[in-house]
């Protein structure tokens, strides 16, 4: 398991790497990769951080778990590799983008292009066993990703935090709404998308906020 994390994130999260929970988590994750099929591939566990350095972050989208089907997960929440069929939540995200700002559905569900523009696509749990949703929850990842969100919220200003569904909303409950824009709605899953995800206009609201604060808008 050759895991590397981008230098600016490494510096900001250094205290976490030295905590007991992270040592335990590391042992658990190594053991899982040695025994089972785990997603994403080991080198992509910290992909969200590696594509989006600390000072480049403008927007944070919080997901829950990596996709657990073959070839889907590559370390960015809601995103799939090129050539992989769009999961239902991603289909609905693209529908809302089209409705909100008119951008046509792209040919790929790979959201690397968002990450490179400053969108941190962060799952709460960064690994999962194949075909076993939630299998790596409550082993320490949540504490680590909480720390990443907290350090961003404390040390940066005028970020946009996008919280879809009750899980993400709980994870972002502590955020200072006076310092950052916090956008909440139902989850894009087909089970809940019609209960407030569609029509949330989060993509145009994000860009309006970035523009007001002198930042380049995201090309969704």
* Residue 104 near residue 32 (C-beta atoms within 8 A): no
pLDDT band at 4 (very low <50, low <70, confident <90, very high): confident
* Residue 126 near residue 139 (C-beta atoms within 8 A): no
Active-site residue set: 65
Query: At which residue do the structure tokens 């604060």 appear?
Result: 213
Q: Which stretches of the chain are assigned E, i.e. beta strand?
A: 38-39, 59-63, 119-123, 128-129, 160-164, 181-185
Averaged pLDDT for residues 170-191: 97
Q: How many CB atoms lie within 10 A of CB 142?
A: 18
**Is 78's pLDDT higher than 60?**
yes
pLDDT of residue 2: 55
Averaged pLDDT for residues 192-218: 98
**Is 38's pLDDT higher than 70?**
yes
Averaged pLDDT for residues 117-125: 98
Q: Which two tokens stand for residue 192?
A: 């809940």
Query: At which residue do the structure tokens 């889907």 appear?
Result: 72
Q: What are phi and psi of 88, to 5 degrees?
A: -55, -40
């Amino acid at each position: 398991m050759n895991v590397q994390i981008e230098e600016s994130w490494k510096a900001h999260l250094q205290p976490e790497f030295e905590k007991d929970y992270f040592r335990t988590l590391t042992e658990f994750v190594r053991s899982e990769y040695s025994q089972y099929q785990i997603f994403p591939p080991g080198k992509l566990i910290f992909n969200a951080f590696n594509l989006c350095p600390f000072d480049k972050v403008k927007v944070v989208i919080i997901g829950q778990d990596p996709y657990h089907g073959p070839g889907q997960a590559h370390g960015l929440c809601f995103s799939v590799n090129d050539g992989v069929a769009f999961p239902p939540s991603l289909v609905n995200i693209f529908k809302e983008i089209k409705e909100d700002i008119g951008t046509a559905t792209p040919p790929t569900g790979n959201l690397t292009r968002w990450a490179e523009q400053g969108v941190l696509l962060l799952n709460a749990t960064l690994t999962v066993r194949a075909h076993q949703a939630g299998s790596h929850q409550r082993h320490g990842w949540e504490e680590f990703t909480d720390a990443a969100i907290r350090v961003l919220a404390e040390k940066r200003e005028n970020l946009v935090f996008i919280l879809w569904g009750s899980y993400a909303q709980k994870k972002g409950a502590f955020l200072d709404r006076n310092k950052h824009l916090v956008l909440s709605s139902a989850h894009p899953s087909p089970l809940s998308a019609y209960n407030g995800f569609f029509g949330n206009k989060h993509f145009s609201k994000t860009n309006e906020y970035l523009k007001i604060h002198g930042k380049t808008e995201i090309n969704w």
